[in-house]
Amino acid sequence: MRLPSLRLLQVGICASLVICSIACAAAPEPEFEFKYESDAALRQLLEKQVPAYPQTGFIVFSDPHLYDTALGTEGKAFEDYLADDRKLLKESVEILETAVAAIKNENADFVLVPGDLTKDGERASHELCASYLRQLEASGKPVYVVPGNHDVKNGHSFRYMGDVVERVPNVTAEEFAQIYREFGYDEALYRDPDSLSYVAVLKPGLWLLALDSCLYRENVEGQEPVTDGRFSLATLRWIEDMLEKAARGNNAVIAMLHHGIVEHYKGQEKNYGEYLLDDFPMVSKLLAMYNVRLVFTGHYHAQDITVARWTKGDKFLFDIETGSLVTYPCPYRIVSVNASQEALVQTKYIQSIPSHPTGFPEYAQKYLLEGIAGIASRVIQGYDVPAAEADRLGRQVALAFLTHYAGDEKLTPGQEVIQSKGLSLRGWLVVAYRKGLVHGLWHDLEPPDNNLTIYLTTGKWQ
């Protein structure tokens, strides 16, 4: 993913509102009818059934965006890329190496990786990533992956040579499944013929529904990959077929996909809908009605957990979004389910890497904060806002994003989400247009984001 803040205010205020309203009005509704709604016996089964999750422990890390540094890390072309995308790409290999070493020492039955395995889908980066995942498998921890929007048929798979950008091979969907055949695809119980989705048995009585939500078929050579996510009607039907098989076999299900499936803050769909699955209310309801309790996502680079509830049938679904390994605070999650049907979610962080044996968290935080602040300031200045004023606003915007990425957002007493006092008219208009977004980033939806216990039978948490 390109960090959401990088597109901040990049279209005119009035034009954006018009375009957004047109796009929202024109969005097609999928012609999909839930099978359980017309099958009374199936509906009765799902209403009575309470999934029994076997005891297990597992790791989730997301969006490692691994970049094979042999493709170039010096020169104007690469620096220009970094200027518009503040991921720790130069350090991505060190970060993944460190994460793999740490995860090897964790007590876990398996590892989930919800997409964006590479910087921009370079074949060399994919092959390097697979080599690190093999190390985890060799330690006795099976790994399961799905693609992210950067991973397949990416038209921006580049080598950077001084001032020159040169295309390098990317991968097709078939090649992705081949490179990662050891990480879900070979051992899949079922494969979706229309996507890279699959079902795997994690343990007796526990299925993984690994979903490919990406639109790489729409990618164009030489252009950025499509960020949005959507399921075809064929894949939606396959998903429900898999959920029905799981229910009839008394298998509990956890799901994994790249795109968010529940809105993580008020206004996310309006401001950054491409980081949520299209028709996410319908799809999240489908999963919840089949008693899926936990869905693991990535894409937005934020540590955030949110829950959706449906009063009819007391159904609920937790979207557990995990931040990117190469974006502050460089987290991974440890999840354990006990015999009392409690899911304990904990967060750990990359604390050091070889090039930064001390002070790595501070370095990562400063890198992100200053990078987003600079980008936001430049964009705001494009609206003829004075530079000093744009710098001040850009810093506040960057702080909101950084805090949201870290999770468990909390304003200090008396702190404003964004200060508008003393602004010029143009500065005030910029604030008026984006204050709702900044407010949403600061005001976290329940539950807590980093460490909590979820009661899988009731949907309560502490």
Q: What is the mean pLDDT of residues 255-262?
A: 98
Task: Give the pLDDT score at 30.
Answer: 52
- Of 314 and 229, the structure prediction assigns the larger pLDDT to 229
Kind of pairing, strands 158-161 and 164-167?
A: antiparallel
57 φ/ψ angles, rounded to the nearest 5 degrees: -140, 140
Could you report the per-residue pLDDT of 135-193, keeping only the tens digit for each?
A: 999 999 999 999 999 999 999 999 999 999 999 999 999 999 999 999 999 999 999 99
C-alpha distances (whole Å) from 270 to each of 265, 273, 397 are 10, 6, 17
Assign residue 287 a region: left if phi > 0, alpha if psi is -120 to 50, beta otherwise?
Answer: alpha
- Per-residue pLDDT of 103-134, as tens digits, reads 999 999 999 999 999 999 999 999 999 999 99
Please give the structure tokens belonging to residue 251. Answer: 């298998």
CA 386 to chain CA centroid, Å, is 35
Q: What is the pLDDT of residue 9?
A: 41
Helices within 113-153 (DSSP H only): 123-138
Q: Report the percent of the chain where pLDDT is more than 70.
A: 93
**Distances from the Cα of 192 to the Cαs of 195, 199, 212, in angstroms?**
6, 9, 9
Q: Which helix (H) or strand (E) holds 357?
A: none
Q: Is the Cα torsion angle 462, 141, 50, 314 positive or negative in sign?
A: positive
- Describe the chain by its helix, strand, coil percentages, rounded to 5: 40, 20, 40
Mean pLDDT score of the chain, rounded to an integer?
92
Q: With 60 as the cut, is the pLDDT of residue 343 above it?
A: yes
pLDDT beyond 50 at 37: yes
For 214-236, what is the mean pLDDT? 94
86-102 pLDDT, tens digit per residue, is 899 999 999 999 999 99
Mean pLDDT of 355-362: 98
pLDDT at residue number 22: 34
**pLDDT for 7 beyond 80:** no
pLDDT of residue 421: 86
pLDDT of residue 27: 45
The model's pLDDT over 39-83, given as tens digits with 9 standing for 90+, comes to 999 999 999 999 999 999 999 999 999 999 999 999 999 999 998
Cα 370 from Cα 217, distance rounded (Å): 35
Lowest pLDDT segment from 36-40, 210-214, 453-457:
36-40
pLDDT at 274: 96
Task: Please compute Rg for the chain using Cα positions.
Answer: 22
Give pTM, 2 decimals: 0.93
325 backbone dihedrals φ, ψ, rounded to 5°: -60, -30
Predicted pLDDT at 416 = 87
pLDDT at 12: 38
Longest dimension (CA), the chain: 66
In sequence order, the 6+-apart residues with CB closer than 8 A to the CB of 402 are: 328, 365, 368, 369, 372
Residue 414 has pLDDT above 80, yes or no: yes
Least confident of 60-64, 359-363, 383-387, 447-451: 383-387
Report the distance separating Cα 263 and Cα 314, nearest Å. 19
Indicate the Cα dihedral angle 58, 132, 330, 435, nearest 10°.
-90
